[in-house]
Every structure is written in C-alpha cells, then in structure tokens.
Amino acid sequence: MIRPRIVLAKPGLDGHDRGVKVVAMGLRDAGAEVIYLGLRVTPAQLVAAAEAEDADLIGISVLSGAHVPITKQILAAMRDAGLDVPLIVGGHNSAGRRGSTVRAWRGRGLPGRDLRYPTSSAACSRSPAPGRPDGRRR
C-alpha cells in the first residue's frame, strides 16, 4: 500500500493549532505519512519542505482571517517552484458564515472548490450545553 505524504502547517501569525493537530492524527491513523511543520511557517518554507519531502499534498490551517493573502503567496511560491500538488486550505471562516470551510486548489492556481460545506458550531459540539437541547449557550 502506498502511503500518501502530506505536509501540514500553520502559516502566518495564527497560533491556534489544535485543529491541524487533530487532522494530522486522523490522517496518520488512516495510514498517511504526515509531516507537520508547526506554527508561523512562511510560504517559502512550506513550499521548500513540500519539495524536500516529495509531498503528495499540502494542507494549511488559517484561523486569523488572513487566508486569502497567505493562500495567494503559497500558490505563487508553488508556481515559482514548479510544484504541482493539491493545496488544501482549512480552518478559516469563509464569507462570514459560522463554522469552517475547506477549499482545494492545485499549484497552478486553478479555481478552488469546496470540499465540505460549513457547519454550525452547535452541530460540531460533542454534547449540548447544560440546559439547552440545541447546544447553544444562553
């Protein structure tokens, strides 16, 4: 069985890394080889690592709201390096909706597409808040 090599990172100044670590563990449990680069990785560092690791996929998580400029910088670095692997962007709050959206792009900058629709925070909670069957806080 061929194990996909996936490079994950938290680019920019965002320090909220719990979600990407959970994704990394899930991918490892599913048989992927995951290389997690950590926090505050620059687009150049990310692309260089993906090249060095011969990655099949790059995944980033951005919660700071800077996902658009960071994604553009990464795609430009991928183009410059001739790296043609999928870039998965997750964690951001797209178009002011609650929850998170995951977008996918190819290194050549082809249009992205939604991989999963946003979910409400109530739907993602493990158990409802005390006294509320819908999980919402008062």
Domains and CATH numbers, the chain: 5-124 (3.40.50.280)
Give the residue-averaged pLDDT of 15-25: 89
SS3 of the chain: the string is CCCCEEEEEEECCCCCCHHHHHHHHHHHHCCCEEEEEEEEECHHHHHHHHHHCCCCEEEEECCCCCHHHHHHHHHHHHHHHCCCCEEEEECCCHHHCCCCCEEEEECCCCCCEEEECCCCHHHHCCCCCCCCCCCCCC
Give yes or no for residue 25 having a pLDDT over 70.
yes
Write down the pLDDT at residue 43: 96
pTM to 2 decimals? 0.70
